[in-house]
Amino acid sequence: MIISMRPHATREEIDHVCERIAEFGYKVHSIEGEERVVIGVVGIGDVTICLESLEATPGVERAMRISAPYKFVSKEFRKGRSIIKVNGCEIGGGEFVMMAGPCSVESEKQIMETAEGVAAAGARILRGGAFKPRTSPYDFQGMELEGLKLLRKAKQRTGLGIITEIMSDRDVEMVAEYTDCMQVGARNMQNFALLKSLGGCGRPVLLKRGMSSTIKELLMSAEYIVAHGNPNVILCERGIRTFETATRNTCDIAAVPVLNELTHLPVILDPSHATGKRSLIPALSRAAVAIGADGLIVEVHPCPEKAFSDGAQSLTLADFARMMSELKPYIRLWKEARARELAAV
Ligand code: PEP
Ligand code: MN
Protein backbone atom coordinates (compact mmCIF):
# COMPACT_ATOMS: atom_id res chain seq x y z
CA MET A 1 0.00 0.00 0.00
CA ILE A 2 1.03 3.58 -0.58
CA ILE A 3 -0.46 6.50 1.31
CA SER A 4 -0.06 9.85 -0.36
CA MET A 5 -0.51 12.75 2.06
CA ARG A 6 -2.00 16.07 0.96
CA PRO A 7 0.55 18.76 0.13
CA HIS A 8 1.50 20.54 3.35
CA ALA A 9 -0.10 17.92 5.61
CA THR A 10 0.89 18.67 9.21
CA ARG A 11 3.41 16.64 11.21
CA GLU A 12 0.55 15.61 13.57
CA GLU A 13 -1.50 14.31 10.64
CA ILE A 14 1.47 12.33 9.33
CA ASP A 15 2.22 10.88 12.77
CA HIS A 16 -1.42 9.97 13.23
CA VAL A 17 -1.51 8.11 9.90
CA CYS A 18 1.63 6.20 10.92
CA GLU A 19 -0.01 5.24 14.22
CA ARG A 20 -3.11 4.00 12.40
CA ILE A 21 -0.94 1.94 10.05
CA ALA A 22 0.80 0.36 13.05
CA GLU A 23 -2.59 -0.40 14.64
CA PHE A 24 -3.50 -2.35 11.52
CA GLY A 25 -0.31 -4.37 12.02
CA TYR A 26 1.61 -2.91 9.07
CA LYS A 27 5.11 -1.42 8.90
CA VAL A 28 5.83 2.09 7.69
CA HIS A 29 8.41 3.36 5.21
CA SER A 30 8.18 7.09 4.84
CA ILE A 31 9.51 9.25 2.06
CA GLU A 32 9.66 12.95 2.61
CA GLY A 33 8.96 14.23 -0.89
CA GLU A 34 9.66 17.82 -1.89
CA GLU A 35 6.13 19.03 -1.42
CA ARG A 36 4.28 16.04 -0.05
CA VAL A 37 4.95 13.04 2.14
CA VAL A 38 4.35 9.62 0.67
CA ILE A 39 4.20 6.69 3.03
CA GLY A 40 4.94 3.16 1.93
CA VAL A 41 3.16 0.48 3.90
CA VAL A 42 4.24 -3.13 4.00
CA GLY A 43 3.01 -6.24 5.80
CA ILE A 44 0.16 -8.70 5.87
CA GLY A 45 -3.35 -7.79 6.92
CA ASP A 46 -6.79 -6.82 5.70
CA VAL A 47 -5.80 -4.34 2.99
CA THR A 48 -9.30 -3.24 2.04
CA ILE A 49 -10.35 -2.23 5.54
CA CYS A 50 -7.03 -0.50 6.15
CA LEU A 51 -7.26 1.44 2.85
CA GLU A 52 -10.81 2.58 3.54
CA SER A 53 -9.94 3.71 7.01
CA LEU A 54 -6.81 5.59 5.93
CA GLU A 55 -8.60 7.33 3.06
CA ALA A 56 -10.91 8.83 5.68
CA THR A 57 -8.03 9.96 7.92
CA PRO A 58 -7.25 13.71 8.02
CA GLY A 59 -4.36 14.79 5.80
CA VAL A 60 -4.57 11.76 3.49
CA GLU A 61 -5.06 12.50 -0.19
CA ARG A 62 -5.01 8.96 -1.54
CA ALA A 63 -4.46 5.44 -0.24
CA MET A 64 -3.77 2.84 -2.88
CA ARG A 65 -3.06 -0.84 -3.17
CA ILE A 66 -0.06 -1.74 -5.31
CA SER A 67 -0.01 -5.29 -6.56
CA ALA A 68 3.56 -5.30 -7.97
CA PRO A 69 6.20 -6.56 -5.48
CA TYR A 70 8.13 -3.35 -6.15
CA LYS A 71 5.87 -0.57 -4.89
CA PHE A 72 7.39 2.90 -5.12
CA VAL A 73 9.08 2.26 -8.45
CA SER A 74 6.05 0.72 -10.16
CA LYS A 75 3.87 2.35 -12.78
CA GLU A 76 0.95 1.70 -10.46
CA PHE A 77 2.48 4.20 -8.04
CA ARG A 78 3.15 6.87 -10.66
CA LYS A 79 1.72 6.86 -14.18
CA GLY A 80 3.97 9.51 -15.70
CA ARG A 81 7.76 9.61 -15.86
CA SER A 82 10.03 10.55 -13.00
CA ILE A 83 12.51 13.23 -13.90
CA ILE A 84 15.82 12.90 -12.09
CA LYS A 85 18.09 15.93 -11.95
CA VAL A 86 21.83 15.43 -12.23
CA ASN A 87 23.84 18.67 -12.21
CA GLY A 88 20.95 20.47 -13.92
CA CYS A 89 20.32 17.70 -16.51
CA GLU A 90 16.79 16.38 -16.39
CA ILE A 91 17.02 12.65 -17.01
CA GLY A 92 13.65 11.20 -17.94
CA GLY A 93 12.44 14.57 -19.23
CA GLY A 94 12.63 16.23 -22.62
CA GLU A 95 16.37 15.78 -23.22
CA PHE A 96 18.21 12.67 -24.37
CA VAL A 97 21.17 12.71 -21.96
CA MET A 98 24.65 11.60 -22.98
CA MET A 99 27.06 10.42 -20.31
CA ALA A 100 30.56 9.66 -21.54
CA GLY A 101 34.10 9.16 -20.31
CA PRO A 102 36.73 6.58 -19.60
CA CYS A 103 36.13 3.29 -17.85
CA SER A 104 38.71 4.34 -15.21
CA VAL A 105 40.17 7.66 -14.18
CA GLU A 106 43.89 7.14 -14.90
CA SER A 107 45.62 10.52 -14.71
CA GLU A 108 44.90 14.23 -14.73
CA LYS A 109 45.87 14.52 -18.39
CA GLN A 110 43.65 11.60 -19.42
CA ILE A 111 40.53 12.75 -17.58
CA MET A 112 40.88 16.42 -18.59
CA GLU A 113 41.42 15.60 -22.24
CA THR A 114 38.44 13.26 -22.21
CA ALA A 115 36.21 15.69 -20.32
CA GLU A 116 36.96 18.53 -22.72
CA GLY A 117 36.49 16.29 -25.76
CA VAL A 118 33.18 14.77 -24.71
CA ALA A 119 31.82 18.14 -23.53
CA ALA A 120 32.67 19.70 -26.90
CA ALA A 121 30.84 16.83 -28.63
CA GLY A 122 27.66 17.37 -26.56
CA ALA A 123 27.93 15.07 -23.53
CA ARG A 124 26.37 16.47 -20.36
CA ILE A 125 27.79 14.09 -17.77
CA LEU A 126 31.34 12.76 -17.38
CA ARG A 127 31.75 9.14 -16.32
CA GLY A 128 34.93 7.65 -14.87
CA GLY A 129 35.59 4.98 -12.26
CA ALA A 130 37.78 5.81 -9.27
CA PHE A 131 36.88 2.53 -7.56
CA LYS A 132 36.97 -0.31 -10.08
CA PRO A 133 35.34 -3.72 -9.61
CA ARG A 134 37.90 -5.93 -11.39
CA THR A 135 37.63 -9.67 -11.92
CA SER A 136 41.32 -10.10 -11.05
CA PRO A 137 42.75 -8.70 -7.82
CA TYR A 138 45.99 -8.04 -9.78
CA ASP A 139 44.33 -5.65 -12.25
CA PHE A 140 44.16 -1.87 -11.80
CA GLN A 141 41.76 -1.17 -8.95
CA GLY A 142 41.27 2.56 -9.54
CA MET A 143 42.81 5.79 -8.24
CA GLU A 144 40.28 5.98 -5.37
CA LEU A 145 40.26 9.37 -3.58
CA GLU A 146 42.83 10.80 -6.00
CA GLY A 147 40.53 9.84 -8.88
CA LEU A 148 37.54 11.48 -7.20
CA LYS A 149 39.53 14.70 -6.85
CA LEU A 150 40.43 14.61 -10.54
CA LEU A 151 36.76 14.16 -11.45
CA ARG A 152 35.90 17.23 -9.40
CA LYS A 153 38.62 19.17 -11.19
CA ALA A 154 37.24 18.06 -14.56
CA LYS A 155 33.81 19.29 -13.51
CA GLN A 156 35.22 22.66 -12.50
CA ARG A 157 36.96 22.94 -15.87
CA THR A 158 34.06 21.82 -18.11
CA GLY A 159 30.81 22.20 -16.14
CA LEU A 160 29.98 18.55 -16.85
CA GLY A 161 28.10 16.62 -14.17
CA ILE A 162 29.99 13.68 -12.69
CA ILE A 163 29.01 10.04 -12.34
CA THR A 164 31.29 7.52 -10.66
CA GLU A 165 30.97 4.06 -9.17
CA ILE A 166 30.42 3.37 -5.48
CA MET A 167 31.48 -0.14 -4.47
CA SER A 168 31.09 -0.23 -0.71
CA ASP A 169 28.67 1.17 1.84
CA ARG A 170 31.72 2.33 3.81
CA ASP A 171 32.64 4.81 1.06
CA VAL A 172 29.21 6.37 0.47
CA GLU A 173 29.88 9.65 2.27
CA MET A 174 33.26 10.18 0.63
CA VAL A 175 32.08 9.40 -2.90
CA ALA A 176 28.90 11.47 -2.49
CA GLU A 177 31.03 14.49 -1.68
CA TYR A 178 32.73 14.37 -5.08
CA THR A 179 30.05 13.19 -7.48
CA ASP A 180 26.66 14.28 -8.81
CA CYS A 181 25.42 10.73 -9.36
CA MET A 182 26.40 7.48 -7.66
CA GLN A 183 26.81 4.50 -9.99
CA VAL A 184 26.04 1.04 -8.66
CA GLY A 185 27.78 -1.42 -10.94
CA ALA A 186 26.35 -4.66 -12.27
CA ARG A 187 28.34 -6.69 -9.72
CA ASN A 188 26.80 -4.78 -6.83
CA MET A 189 23.20 -4.62 -8.01
CA GLN A 190 22.21 -6.92 -5.16
CA ASN A 191 24.60 -5.58 -2.55
CA PHE A 192 21.73 -4.81 -0.23
CA ALA A 193 23.83 -3.11 2.44
CA LEU A 194 25.08 -0.70 -0.23
CA LEU A 195 21.58 -0.15 -1.66
CA LYS A 196 20.21 0.65 1.80
CA SER A 197 22.98 3.12 2.53
CA LEU A 198 22.33 4.87 -0.79
CA GLY A 199 18.84 5.62 0.47
CA GLY A 200 20.34 8.38 2.56
CA CYS A 201 23.24 9.52 0.36
CA GLY A 202 21.59 12.68 -0.94
CA ARG A 203 22.61 11.97 -4.54
CA PRO A 204 20.79 10.36 -7.47
CA VAL A 205 21.79 6.76 -8.14
CA LEU A 206 22.40 5.04 -11.46
CA LEU A 207 21.60 1.39 -10.86
CA LYS A 208 23.08 -0.97 -13.44
CA ARG A 209 21.43 -4.29 -14.12
CA GLY A 210 23.34 -7.28 -12.77
CA MET A 211 24.76 -9.46 -15.50
CA SER A 212 22.61 -12.41 -14.38
CA SER A 213 19.67 -10.47 -12.99
CA THR A 214 16.10 -10.43 -14.18
CA ILE A 215 14.19 -7.23 -14.77
CA LYS A 216 12.14 -7.95 -11.67
CA GLU A 217 15.30 -8.27 -9.59
CA LEU A 218 16.57 -4.96 -11.00
CA LEU A 219 13.32 -3.28 -9.97
CA MET A 220 13.44 -4.86 -6.51
CA SER A 221 16.95 -3.44 -6.07
CA ALA A 222 15.72 0.00 -7.15
CA GLU A 223 12.92 -0.41 -4.61
CA TYR A 224 15.53 -0.90 -1.85
CA ILE A 225 17.04 2.51 -2.59
CA VAL A 226 13.68 4.26 -2.85
CA ALA A 227 12.19 2.55 0.22
CA HIS A 228 15.22 3.71 2.20
CA GLY A 229 14.52 7.32 1.34
CA ASN A 230 16.01 8.13 -2.06
CA PRO A 231 13.49 8.42 -4.90
CA ASN A 232 16.13 9.50 -7.44
CA VAL A 233 17.06 6.28 -9.18
CA ILE A 234 17.99 5.85 -12.85
CA LEU A 235 18.12 2.33 -14.31
CA CYS A 236 20.69 1.07 -16.78
CA GLU A 237 20.63 -1.91 -19.13
CA ARG A 238 24.26 -2.98 -19.71
CA GLY A 239 23.92 -6.44 -21.21
CA ILE A 240 23.39 -9.81 -19.59
CA ARG A 241 25.19 -13.16 -19.64
CA THR A 242 23.93 -15.61 -22.24
CA PHE A 243 25.45 -18.48 -24.25
CA GLU A 244 26.47 -15.97 -26.94
CA THR A 245 30.21 -15.27 -27.17
CA ALA A 246 30.33 -12.89 -30.15
CA THR A 247 29.77 -10.00 -27.78
CA ARG A 248 31.01 -9.49 -24.20
CA ASN A 249 27.40 -9.53 -22.97
CA THR A 250 24.06 -9.81 -24.74
CA CYS A 251 22.30 -6.47 -24.89
CA ASP A 252 18.73 -7.05 -23.74
CA ILE A 253 17.38 -4.26 -25.89
CA ALA A 254 13.80 -5.22 -25.00
CA ALA A 255 14.57 -4.42 -21.37
CA VAL A 256 14.20 -0.72 -22.17
CA PRO A 257 10.56 -0.78 -23.35
CA VAL A 258 9.74 -3.49 -20.80
CA LEU A 259 11.01 -1.24 -18.02
CA ASN A 260 9.12 1.69 -19.50
CA GLU A 261 5.95 -0.35 -19.11
CA LEU A 262 6.71 -1.37 -15.52
CA THR A 263 8.32 1.68 -13.93
CA HIS A 264 8.26 5.47 -14.00
CA LEU A 265 12.03 5.61 -13.42
CA PRO A 266 14.28 6.74 -16.28
CA VAL A 267 16.14 4.03 -18.20
CA ILE A 268 19.43 4.46 -20.01
CA LEU A 269 21.56 2.06 -22.05
CA ASP A 270 25.27 1.25 -21.76
CA PRO A 271 26.28 0.00 -25.22
CA SER A 272 29.94 -0.28 -24.18
CA HIS A 273 29.61 -3.03 -21.56
CA ALA A 274 26.66 -4.51 -23.45
CA THR A 275 28.86 -5.35 -26.44
CA GLY A 276 32.51 -5.06 -25.40
CA LYS A 277 33.29 -3.91 -28.95
CA ARG A 278 33.91 -0.37 -30.13
CA SER A 279 32.55 -1.07 -33.64
CA LEU A 280 29.09 -2.01 -32.35
CA ILE A 281 28.48 1.06 -30.21
CA PRO A 282 27.05 3.47 -32.81
CA ALA A 283 24.44 0.92 -33.96
CA LEU A 284 23.32 0.12 -30.43
CA SER A 285 23.24 3.80 -29.56
CA ARG A 286 20.88 4.48 -32.46
CA ALA A 287 18.73 1.59 -31.25
CA ALA A 288 18.64 3.07 -27.74
CA VAL A 289 17.34 6.38 -29.12
CA ALA A 290 14.77 4.61 -31.29
CA ILE A 291 13.29 2.52 -28.48
CA GLY A 292 12.85 5.48 -26.15
CA ALA A 293 15.75 5.15 -23.71
CA ASP A 294 16.37 8.34 -21.73
CA GLY A 295 20.07 8.48 -22.50
CA LEU A 296 23.32 6.60 -22.97
CA ILE A 297 26.43 5.98 -20.93
CA VAL A 298 29.40 5.39 -23.22
CA GLU A 299 33.08 4.66 -22.61
CA VAL A 300 35.45 7.08 -24.33
CA HIS A 301 39.25 7.24 -24.01
CA PRO A 302 41.80 9.54 -25.68
CA CYS A 303 43.95 6.51 -26.51
CA PRO A 304 41.95 3.28 -26.06
CA GLU A 305 44.92 1.02 -26.76
CA LYS A 306 46.62 2.39 -23.65
CA ALA A 307 43.51 2.26 -21.42
CA PHE A 308 43.97 0.61 -18.02
CA SER A 309 40.56 -1.06 -18.43
CA ASP A 310 38.01 -1.70 -21.17
CA GLY A 311 40.07 -0.27 -24.04
CA ALA A 312 38.49 -2.60 -26.63
CA GLN A 313 35.06 -1.13 -26.03
CA SER A 314 36.17 2.50 -25.65
CA LEU A 315 35.54 5.01 -28.43
CA THR A 316 38.23 7.55 -29.29
CA LEU A 317 37.27 11.20 -28.90
CA ALA A 318 36.94 11.44 -32.67
CA ASP A 319 34.71 8.31 -32.77
CA PHE A 320 32.53 9.82 -30.07
CA ALA A 321 32.20 13.18 -31.82
CA ARG A 322 31.27 11.40 -35.05
CA MET A 323 28.70 9.24 -33.31
CA MET A 324 27.16 12.27 -31.61
CA SER A 325 26.76 14.04 -34.90
CA GLU A 326 25.31 10.92 -36.58
CA LEU A 327 22.82 10.55 -33.72
CA LYS A 328 21.45 14.08 -34.18
CA PRO A 329 18.58 13.31 -36.60
CA TYR A 330 17.50 10.38 -34.43
CA ILE A 331 17.59 12.50 -31.29
CA ARG A 332 15.51 15.16 -33.06
CA LEU A 333 12.76 12.57 -33.66
CA TRP A 334 13.16 11.32 -30.08
CA LYS A 335 12.62 14.85 -28.76
CA GLU A 336 9.49 15.37 -30.85
CA ALA A 337 8.03 12.09 -29.63
CA ARG A 338 8.92 12.85 -26.00
CA ALA A 339 7.47 16.38 -26.22
CA ARG A 340 4.20 14.93 -27.55
CA GLU A 341 4.14 12.38 -24.74
CA LEU A 342 4.86 14.93 -22.00
CA ALA A 343 2.22 17.30 -23.42
CA ALA A 344 -0.39 14.51 -23.40
CA VAL A 345 0.05 13.75 -19.67
C1 PEP B 1 31.73 0.35 -15.65
O2 PEP B 1 30.81 1.14 -15.84
O3 PEP B 1 32.93 0.59 -15.93
C4 PEP B 1 31.40 -1.00 -15.15
C5 PEP B 1 32.26 -1.70 -14.41
O6 PEP B 1 30.19 -1.39 -15.56
P7 PEP B 1 29.32 -2.70 -15.14
O8 PEP B 1 29.11 -2.57 -13.67
O9 PEP B 1 28.08 -2.55 -15.95
O10 PEP B 1 30.12 -3.90 -15.53
MN1 MN C 1 34.19 -0.30 -17.93
Whether residues 328 and 179 fall in one domain: yes
Looking only at Cα atoms, what is the longest distance across the chain? 65
- Give 104 Cα–ligand 1 centroid separation in angstroms: 10
Question: In this structure, is residue 43 part of a structural domain?
Answer: yes
User: In this structure, is residue 32 part of a structural domain?
Assistant: yes
| Nearest residue (CA) to ligand 1, atom 6 | 185
The CATH number for 32's domain is 3.30.70.1140
Are 76 and 66 in contact, with CB atoms under 8 Å apart?
Answer: yes
Tell whether 76 is covered by a domain.
no
**134 and 205: one domain?**
yes
Ligand nearest to C-alpha 307: 2
Whether residues 235 and 185 share a domain: the answer is: yes
What's the pLDDT at 32?
67
Q: Is the CB of 273 under 6 A from ligand 1?
A: yes
Distance from residue 324's CA to the centre of ligand 1 (Å): 22
Residue 224 located in a structural domain: yes
Q: Are residues 137 and 176 in the same domain?
A: yes
Residue 72 within a domain: no
Indicate whether 60 and 193 sit together in one domain. no
- In-domain check, residue 207: yes
Calpha distance 162→235 (Å, rounded) = 16
Q: What is the DSSP string of 30-82?
A: EEE-SSSEEEEEESSS-HHHHHHHHHTSTTEEEEE---SSS-TTBTTT-SS--
Cα torsion angle, 294, 262, 345, 55, sign: negative
- How many angstroms does the Cα of residue 338 sit away from the middle of ligand 2? 30
Quote the pLDDT of residue 67: 87
The pLDDT value recorded for residue 30 is: 66
Ligand 1 atom closest to the Cα of residue 185 is: 8
Q: Which atom of ligand 1 is nearest to the CA of 236?
A: 9
- 271 and 137, same structural domain? yes
52 part of a folded domain: yes
The answer to whether residue 69 is domain-embedded is no
State the Cα–Cα distance between residues 162 and 182, nearest whole angstrom. Answer: 9
Q: What is the overall mean pLDDT for the chain?
A: 95
Same domain, 202 and 278: yes
Ligand 2: centre distance to CA 135 (Å): 12
Q: Are residues 19 and 112 in the same domain?
A: no
Give how far Cα 134 sits from Cα of 139, 186, 283, 307, Å: 6, 12, 27, 14
In 3D space, the residue among 341, 311, 331 whose CA is nearest the CA of residue 124 turns out to be: 331
CA of 186 to the centre of ligand 1 (A): 6
- Residue 277 shares a structural domain with residue 334: yes
Q: Which domain holds residue 16?
A: 2-64
**Residue 218 in contact with residue 195, Cβ under 8 Å?**
no
88: left (phi over 0), alpha (psi -120 to 50) or beta: left
- Count: domains in the chain: 2
One domain for residues 159 and 28? no
SS3 87: coil
Cα separation of 231 and 37, whole Å? Answer: 12
> Ligand 1 pocket, 102 CB below 6 A?
no
Pocket of ligand 1 contains residue 129 by CB under 6 Å: yes
CA of 202 to the centre of ligand 2 (A): 25
Q: Is 8 left (phi over 0), alpha (psi -120 to 50) or beta?
A: left
Residue 38 CB less than 6 A away from ligand 1: no
**What's the gap between Cα 342 and its chain centre?**
20
Which residues contact residue 192 at a Cβ distance below 8 angstroms, ignoring those fewer than 6 apart?
A: 224
Domain harbouring 141, CATH code: 3.20.20.70
| Same domain membership, residue 131 and residue 261 | yes
Distance 125 CA to ligand 2 centre (A): 16
Residues with CB under 5 A from ligand 2 (ion): 103, 310
pLDDT by residue, tens only, the chain of 345 residues = 889 999 989 999 999 999 999 999 998 876 667 677 889 888 877 888 899 999 999 999 999 998 899 999 999 988 899 999 999 999 999 999 999 999 999 999 999 999 999 999 999 999 999 999 999 999 999 999 999 999 999 999 999 999 999 999 999 999 999 999 999 999 999 999 999 999 999 999 999 999 999 999 999 999 999 989 899 999 999 999 999 999 999 999 999 999 999 999 999 999 999 999 999 999 999 999 999 999 999 999 999 999 999 999 999 999 999 999 999 999 999 999 999 999 987
Distance CA 221, CA 207 (A): 8
Which residue among 143, 165, 205, 298 is best mutated to probe the pocket of ligand 1, counting the most ligand atoms within 8 A of its Cβ?
165
